[in-house]
Every structure is written in C-alpha cells, then in structure tokens.
C-alpha cells in the first residue's frame, strides 16, 4: 500500500504543535516581564533609603553642633574652644564648619548649605520663633551674606532655633524626588533644632 501524501495544511499543523510544545526561552520571557517592575522597586527603595540617610545625617549634625549654642560656648567664645578669638563672619563660619564636619560630605555641605540662626524670648506667640525661609523668590538658596546678617545666637536663657538649608545636588537627580527642588536642580534638605540656651552667665 502506498504511503499517503501529507498536505501542506497537515505539515503546518504538525509544526504548530511542535512549536506549542517547545518551551525553550519561557524563563527569559518571564524574567523580562518581571524584571522591569522589580528593578524599579529596587531602585526606589535604594533612593528613599539614601534620602532618609542624608536627612537624618543633617538633622543629627545640626542637633550636635547646636550644643555649642545651647551651652554658651559659641556666644562666649570660650577659651580652648574652636570659637576662641573669632568674631564676626569668621565666628559664624566656624559654626557652619562644626555642622558640616558631622554631615555626610564636608566640602559639598560647605558649598551648598546656609545656616540660619534666630533668637527670641519665647517659642511661640508674639515675639516667638518664626519659620525660616531657606529659598529666595527665584527658588535659589538664601545668600550667605544674608544668612550671616540675620545670624542671632542670643544670650543666656534665650530661645534659639538653628536651621541648616542644604541643596543636595545628587538628590535632584533621583527620579522619585520631583518635588522640593531648588533652581539649580538640587533637592532641598532642611534640618532644624530649637532649644532654650542654658543660663551660662
């Protein structure tokens, strides 16, 4: 008996069945589908962690450096302290150095940070602390000269608030940080510490 000839339609059906049974490359396709959301989530977690690290570092730096104002070491330029013999802008710059030495990047902090210090008689109400403004109308950091002109460390038993305004250049490049950007493309980190100075006199 002569073998039957296979029609082109039958050949096509056979090949389709073979292709359907072949699962080579399925893992690669599944990975391609899952990898993009996974990588986006991973990068998002790393970005948020980095932001929290920088914020925490600046807050800790301001809190630690403010001890010199709380205890009167800064105001009295105590003998043997880093402020001894310094006056005017040199004294204020020394305090800024004290903050930046405790930050994650000293050189970047010195270039991109403004320190605002205000002294009042009470924490709130009339004559109390006011919210500091880190940015000018054009969304750039306040000038160093303006920050130094308004720098008031108060006296014994004064209410003082120290604020560090830091324009973090790398933060502006993170995709999740589209808000809170400065005009130069940085991410604004603002850290404050409010306290009543000790009666050091």
> pLDDT tens-digit profile of 92-122?
999 999 999 999 999 999 999 999 999 998 8
- The pLDDT tens digits of the residues spanning 77-93 come to 999 999 999 999 999 99
- pLDDT score, position 189: 92
Angle at 69 between CA 55 and CA 65, to 5 degrees: 30
Q: Where are the domains of the chain?
A: 27-196
- The residues facing 189 across adjacent strands are 166
**CB of 57 closer than 8 Å to CB of 103:** yes
Q: How much of the chain, in percent, has pLDDT values that exceed 90?
A: 55
Q: Say what the pLDDT of residue 176 is.
A: 64
pTM to 2 decimals?
A: 0.79
How far apart (Å, rounded) are the C-alpha atoms in residues 120 and 63?
18
Q: Write down the mean pLDDT value for the chain.
A: 87
CA 73 – CA 62 distance, rounded (Å): 15
Could you tell me which of 162, 166, 173 has the C-alpha nearest to residue 197? 162
């Amino acid at each position: 008996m002569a073998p039957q000839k296979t029609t082109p339609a039958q050949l096509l059906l056979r090949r389709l069945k073979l292709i359907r049974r072949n699962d080579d490359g399925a893992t690669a396709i599944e990975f391609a589908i899952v990898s993009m959301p996974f990588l986006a989530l991973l990068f998002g977690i790393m970005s948020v962690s980095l932001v929290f690290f920088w914020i925490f570092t600046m807050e800790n730096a301001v809190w630690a450096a403010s001890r010199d104002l709380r205890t009167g070491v800064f105001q009295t330029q105590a003998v043997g302290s880093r402020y001894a013999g310094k006056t005017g802008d040199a004294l204020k710059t020394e305090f800024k150095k004290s903050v930046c030495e405790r930050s994650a990047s000293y050189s970047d902090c010195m270039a991109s940070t403004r320190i605002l210090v205000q002294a009042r008689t009470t924490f709130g109400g009339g004559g109390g602390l006011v919210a500091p403004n880190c940015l000018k109308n054009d969304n750039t950091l306040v000038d160093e000269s303006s920050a130094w002109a308004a720098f008031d460390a108060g006296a014994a038993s004064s209410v003082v608030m120290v604020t560090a305004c830091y324009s973090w250049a790398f933060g502006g490049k993170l995709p999740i940080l589209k808000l809170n950007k400065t005009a130069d493309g940085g991410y604004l980190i603002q850290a404050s510490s409010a306290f009543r100075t000790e009666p050091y006199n």
